[in-house]
Chains A and B, each alone.
Chain A
Amino acid sequence: MAPMTNAPQPDSEALVDIYRRMLRIERNDDAIRSTIRKGRLQMPYYSARGQEVIPAAISHFLRDDDKICTIYRGIQDMVAKGMPLKPLWAEIAGRVDGTCKGKGGPMHLTHPETGVMVTTGVVGSSMPIANGLGWAAQLDKSDRVVIAYFGDGAANIGAFHESLNLAALWDLPVVFVCPNNGYAEHTSFANSTRAETLAVRAAGYGMPGYRVDGNDPDAMYAAAHQAISRARAGEGPTLLECITFRFMGHVFGDDMSYMAEGELARHLERDPLVKLRQRLIDEGISTEEELESMKAEIDAEVAEARDYGLASPTPSVDELRRDVFAEEMPA
């Protein structure tokens, strides 16, 4: 799918790193869904189950000082980038030890220490802000890069057009990463976009654009390497359209009745997490025991984070007056 020449291939170490990030995303997602089901979390949840390869491969090439702007379906991007899970869980539970003291919640997690600068609940709004972070890197004469994550639905909002044009014009070190999971909320890609791909739009902005198999670690590795290297070298932005599928529908509890019969089942058979795990074993990169121990270690981290988050106190109502402005609002 990726029309790239001399595309680098992930070595064993890179594949294990990508798998570990994917597994951390999936185990965390699984814990969030089961905790919601038990009634111990009340939150709108937009699972990215099935899309794990994309942020895992992208984050493999990111440094701590690189920035990301992501969207309401974005916890996978943060986990892949390295956000600690304890404040993440406290935030989605609306507790004072959360990344945002419980004032942002699951759609607005922010953690500048790990480069998670903005998580937006407005479709498309990650892109204009990512440009500004990229401009700042340019002004600082730093080679740090910025990732703007957004969905296929967001490619049809005006912010996409304005942002890609400006990023190309100013050679900004931004990679526009679009997991195209086939649906904008409940509307299929075919029912919202006449163009066959989103990647073709990049040409209109004078930037490279690639459609890659977002569930294929090799393709994603090559695409991420190329786009991030280009941004880091000061050569400008890239649009990556990463084809994938969301296993849990739009929002937690979605009955997915708008999907064609058998569509979900067909995709579930090709679960990228299961496939990569099998590959690591088949190619002799990892043993069953190693992967089980990796899973146990991650499960323990997630369980500890969940317990920490749920035990954290709720914020004081005084928080309503704090952080509106730098100066606290009068009581």
Chain B
Amino acid sequence: MSATVKMNSLQAVNKALHQAMAADDKVVVFGEDVADNEGGGVTGATKGLSTAFGTDRVRSTPISEQAIIGAAIGAALAGYKAVPEIMLMNFTTVAMDMIHNHAAKLRFMSGGQTSVPITIRTLTGAGWQTAGQHADHLEGWFAHSAGIKVVCPSNPADYAGLLLASIQDPDPVLFVESAGSLFIPGEVPEIITPIPLGKANIVTEGSDVTIVAWSAQTVRCQAALQALAEAGISAELIDLRTISPWDRDTVLASVEKTGRCIVAHEAVRSFGPGAEIAATIAEELFGKLKAPVRRLGGPECAVPFAKALEDAFIVQPADVVATAKALMA
């Protein structure tokens, strides 16, 4: 194990971008406010990049999401590794044609003659009282598009390793940064190595119930572990890390062992990614389940502004504990 440095996930993103740009001069970074002249990104994720690598490769853009993703696709078709930033996940909706109809499909529709190795970085999540147009977890939308990978890290080391893997990947990746995980510190390897996409991380092993989560929801599930242990429940927490493709093997092996599963996510519960995971478990492990698979997710409404409502919108550690207790009863 190489030496590590303590930093939060935002700093880990910045470190991974520096490393990727230094290693490969085909990597280009662009988006609204990303160059140092404009502050190095609204959160500071791209700070220092334009100073280190020049404004040819690190460019601030107009507020034009279609043009940003279009430019990324075109540059990628000509051999570049484009890393565009869409400031917030809700703003990807403005560029859905470019993402869904073009980035995700050009390899298939061209019969493999062209490819679109872009990594779209975007930020989202409830908790900052930004309400319904700045906080949606839309990873399920993109996971439903064939041809694009969806990565949802939860801790600094994963942010760094998964971002590097995303940039190196030969296909388009949506890299989702989450508000509830961004400022929590952790250890990051001094020299980042890529973490393979599509591989889940077993955060803690257990025998009674499998809990599947990602992004900031992993953090909230970790916060539930002590209460679960005190209640005598042995929980196995799986951080999925990649939503598409998702690590079926790890999840199915775990649920086969525990016989119980909770899928928790911040996205609205109805038609959310939890439904796909729960359905797969039902198809593959029907006779081996000790209880129905439970899904925890946001209620069917927009992310609300008022703090009390926002807290109630989010799946809290106490919700995870209560659901696990009910499953064990």
Residues of B with C-beta under 8 A to A101: 111-112
Write the chain B residue with the least CB distance to A174: B74
8 Å CB contact of A136 from B75, B108, B109, B113: B75
- Among the 9-residue stretches A39-47, A111-119, A263-271, A279-287, the one with 4 or more Cβ atoms under 8 Å from chain B is A111-119
Asked if A104 contacts B109 (CB within 8 A), the reply is: yes
B107 touches A118 (CB 8 A): no
Within 8 A of A (CB), among B47-86: 56-57, 59, 61-62, 64-67, 69-80, 82
Which B residues lie within 8 Å of A103 (CB)? 108-111
Measured CB to CB, the closest approach of chain B to A204, in angstroms, equals 14
Q: Name which of A8-16, A127-135, A192-200, A248-256 contacts chain B.
A: A127-135
A-B contact pairs, 12 of them (CB 8 A): A103-B109, A103-B111, A104-B111, A110-B114, A128-B69, A129-B77, A132-B77, A135-B75, A136-B79, A170-B59, A325-B149, A326-B115
Residue pair B146, A324 in contact (C-beta under 8 Å): yes
A139 and B54 alpha carbons, distance in the complex (Å)? 12
Cβ contact within 8 Å between A323 and B77: no
B147 touches A325 (CB 8 A): yes
With known contacts A122-B101, A125-B98, A132–B111 Cβ distance under 8 A: no
- Describe A's contact surface by its main secondary structure: mixed
Q: How far is the CA of A128 from the CA of B59 in the complex (A)?
A: 16
Q: Which residues of A contact B76 (CB under 8 A)?
A: 132
Interface residue range, chain A? 35 or more
Range class of the B interface residue count: 35 or more
Q: Contacts A125-B98, A324-B147: A165 and B114 contacting too (C-beta < 8 A)? A: no
Measured between beta carbons, the chain B residues less than 8 angstroms from A162 are: 62, 64-67, 70
Tell me the complex Cα distance, A127–B146, Å: 23
Residues of A within 8 A of B (CB): 67, 69, 98-104, 108, 110-112, 117-118, 120-122, 125, 127-140, 146, 158-159, 162-163, 165-166, 169-170, 322-326
A101 shortest CB reach to chain B, Å: 4
Q: Say whether B102 faces chain A, with CB atoms less than 8 Å apart.
A: yes
Chain B residue at minimal CB-CB distance from A67: B78
A118 vs B98: C-alpha distance when bound (angstroms): 12
Q: Which residues of B contact A129 (CB under 8 A)?
A: 70, 73-74, 77, 98, 102
Interfacial chain B residues near A146, Cβ < 8 Å: 74
Q: For the complex, what is the distance from the CA of A310 to the CA of B73, rounded to whole Å? A: 33
CB-CB nearest in chain A for B106 = A118
CA–CA, A259 to B62, complex, Å?
A: 40
* Residues of chain A with a CB closer than 8 A to B108's CB: 103, 323-324
> Is there an interface contact between B111 and A112, defined as CB atoms closer than 8 Å?
no
B157 in the interface, Cβ–Cβ < 8 Å?
no
Contacting pair A135 B74 (CB below 8 A): yes
Rank and list the top 4 A-B pairs by shortest CB-CB distance, nearest first. Answer: A132-B74, A128-B70, A136-B78, A100-B111
B93 to A: closest C-beta gap in Å = 13
**B80-131: which have CB < 8 Å to A?**
80, 82, 97-98, 101-102, 106-115
Residues of A within 8 A of B77 (CB): 112, 117-118, 129, 132-133, 136
Instruction: Point out the residues of chain A lying under 8 angstroms from B61, CB to CB.
Output: 166
Residue interface bits B165-200, CB-to-A below 8 A is 1, else 0: 000001100000000000000000000000000000
Name the residue on A nearest B76 (C-beta).
Answer: A132
Shortest distance in angstroms between A201's beta carbon and chain B's nearest beta carbon? Answer: 16
Contact: A131 with B74, CB < 8 Å?
A: yes
Q: Please give, as numbers and ranges, the residues of chain A lying within 8 Å of B72 by CB-CB distance.
A: 132
CB distance from A312 to the nearest CB of B (A): 13
Q: Which of B65, B70, B79, B107 is within 8 Å of A326, CB to CB? A: B107
A residues within 8 A CB of B98? Answer: 125, 128-129
Q: A135 with B102: in contact, given A100-B110, A108-B109, A169-B62 (CB under 8 Å)?
A: no
With most chain A CB atoms within 10 A of its CB, the pick from B62, B70, B75, B146 is B70
- A100-B79 Cα distance, complex, nearest whole Å: 19
User: B28 interface residue, CB < 8 Å from A?
Assistant: yes
Chain B nearest CB from A266 CB (Å) reads 36
Determine how close the nearest CB of chain A comes to the CB of B313; give it in whole angstroms: 31
Please, which residues of chain A bring their CB within 8 A of the CB of B112? 101, 322-323
Residues of A within 8 A of B74 (CB): 69, 117, 128-136, 146
Asked if B107 contacts A120 (CB within 8 A), the reply is: no
Q: Give chain A residues whose Cβ lies under 8 Å from the Cβ of B106.
A: 110, 118
Known: A128-B70, A166-B61. A139 touches B171 (CB 8 A): no
Q: Assess whether A159 is in contact with B171, with CB atoms less than 8 Å apart.
A: no
**Contact partners of A132 in chain B: CB under 8 A:** 70-78, 82
Instruction: Kindly list 13 other residue pairs between chains A and B, CB separation below 8 angstroms, not including A112-B114, A136-B74, A139-B56.
Output: A103-B108, A111-B113, A117-B114, A120-B102, A129-B102, A130-B70, A132-B76, A133-B75, A139-B57, A146-B74, A165-B62, A166-B61, A324-B108
Contact A125 B101 (CB under 8 A): yes
Residues in B with CB closer than 8 Å to A110 are: 106, 109-111, 113-114
Knowing A122-B97, A122-B101, the reply to whether A128 touches B71 (Cβ < 8 A) is yes
**CA A324 to CA B111, docked complex, whole Å:** 9
Q: How far apart are A331's CB and chain B's nearest CB, in angstroms?
A: 15
* Known contacts A136-B79, A139-B28: A127-B107 contact under CB 8 Å: no
Q: Which residue on chain B has the smallest CB distance to residue A130?
A: B74
Knowing A127-B70, A166-B61, the reply to whether A100 touches B75 (Cβ < 8 A) is no
Q: Provide the bound-state CA to CA distance between A254 and B238, in Å.
A: 57
A118 and B82 alpha carbons, distance in the complex (Å) = 17
